[in-house]
Amino acid sequence: MKIVLATHNQGKIREFRKIFSDMGVEAVPISEIADIPEPEETGHTFEENALQKARYYAGKIHMPVLSDDSGIIAHALGDRPGIYSARFAGQHGNDEANNRKLIEELRGFTGEDRKGHYACAIALAWPDGRNITVEGRCEGIIRDFYKGNNGFGYDPLFYIPSLGKTMAELTMEEKNKISHRGKALRALVSKLASLRFD
């Protein structure tokens, strides 16, 4: 089975390819299939955005397309930045600016008030209109200093108390076991196993 990944984020592409290769599924980024403008994200939830993007690309290239929408949620900030995580500081995909803004907005919060979670919704859409959606989440503490060189996005700030490490200190294998994206993908695989899709 070949699945097209509706993302240009190299960090996500690495994670998806690793997980899918272990399952014997070929994952190919959309950039290797066609040069298609990205759709505007107009959903109000991670799931709505993921499904919107997967359906859009599946209709354009006539292949199964997987899309995810994910982000970090700081409980003390009224569950922000949420679906705006990638453009929290204004410019889409500027990890450093987004991290600095999150640190600044959480300034003054300590201990339990720094709790948050990563959330991920994954949608897999077929050209004929069929689709599957799943979600996963990972709980942690959002710190105000960086640690670790792995991962991407908010990973250097996101501390997992049960492991004593930030997401950016984990190997790819460790991260895929506990991450929001890893959990959502396992839920997707479970759904695929119970359904018959060509």
Q: Which residues are catalytic?
A: 69
10 is an annotated ligand-binding site residue:
yes
52 is in an annotated binding site: no
**70 labelled binding-site residue:** yes
Q: Which of 49, 70, 185, 197 is nearest to 126 (CA)?
A: 197
Annotated ligand binding at 117? The verdict is: no
- For 105, counting Cβ atoms within 10 Å of its Cβ (0-12 exposed, 13-18 middle, 19+ buried), the class is middle
- Is 17 a known ligand-binding residue? no
- Quote the tokens at residue 103: 């640190």
Would you say 8 is a known binding-site residue?
yes
Q: Is 128 annotated as a binding residue?
A: no
Which 8-state DSSP code applies to residue 132?
A: E
119 contacts 135 by C-beta, under 8 angstroms: yes
Q: How far apart are CA 141 and CA 53, in angstroms?
A: 30
87 is in an annotated binding site: no
Say whether 181 counts as a known binding-site residue: yes
Distance CA 13, CA 27 (A): 8
Residue 160: how many CB atoms within 10 A of its CB? 19
Tokens linked to 153: 């996005």
Q: Scan for tokens 């503490």, then name that residue.
A: 141
Q: Is 48 annotated as a binding residue?
A: no
Cβ atoms within 10 Å of 130's Cβ, excluding its own: 13
Please check if 152 is assigned to a binding site.
yes
Give the residue numbers of the binding site for Mg(2+).
Answer: 40, 69
Give the residue numbers of the binding site for substrate.
Answer: 7-12, 70, 152-155, 175, 180-181
Give the residue numbers of the binding site.
Answer: 7-12, 40, 69-70, 152-155, 175, 180-181
